[in-house]
Structure 1
Amino acid sequence: MRNINIVNGFFPNKNFGDDMFLACAGEYVEGDYEVRNLAKENKGYLAWLAYLFKRVKSYTWLGGTFIDKDTTFPMLISMLIEFTLVKLAGAKLTFVSVGLSRDVNLIKKLSLKYICWLANDVSARDKDSFEAYKRHNKGMTLTGDIVVLNEGLFHKGIKQSNRRLLFVSVDKNKSLQIFNDKQSVFKHLSNTPSVVQVTSPYQAESQKRLSEEICNSLGCSYDCIDYSSFKEVLELIAESECVITDRLHVAIAGVINNKPVYLFGVSEKLKGINDLLDTRGLLTLVS
Structure 2
Amino acid sequence: MAANPVPRHERRPRSFYALALFFALFVVFLYGPVVTILTLSFQGPSGGLTFPMNGLSLYWFERLWSGGGTVDIGAAFRRSLALGLTVLVLTVVISVLAGLAFRKRFRGSAALFYVAVASLIVPSIVVSLGIALEFRIVDDVLRPALASLGLADARGNSLGLFTSGLGAHLSWTLPFGLLIMFAVFNRLDKSYEEAARDLGATSWQSFRFVILPMIAPFLIGIALFGFTLSWDEIARSSQTMGSTNTLPLELAALTTTVTTPEIYALGTTVTAVSFTVIFGTLAAFLALQRRRRTRLPKAG
TM bin, normalised by shorter chain, reads under 0.3
Which of 1 and 2 has higher RCO (CA within 8 Å, sep 6+)?
A: 2
Normalized against structure 2, the TM-score is what?
Answer: 0.19
Normalized against structure 1, the TM-score is what?
Answer: 0.20
Query: Higher strand proportion, which one?
Result: 1
Larger Rg: 2
Query: Higher helix proportion, which one?
Result: 2
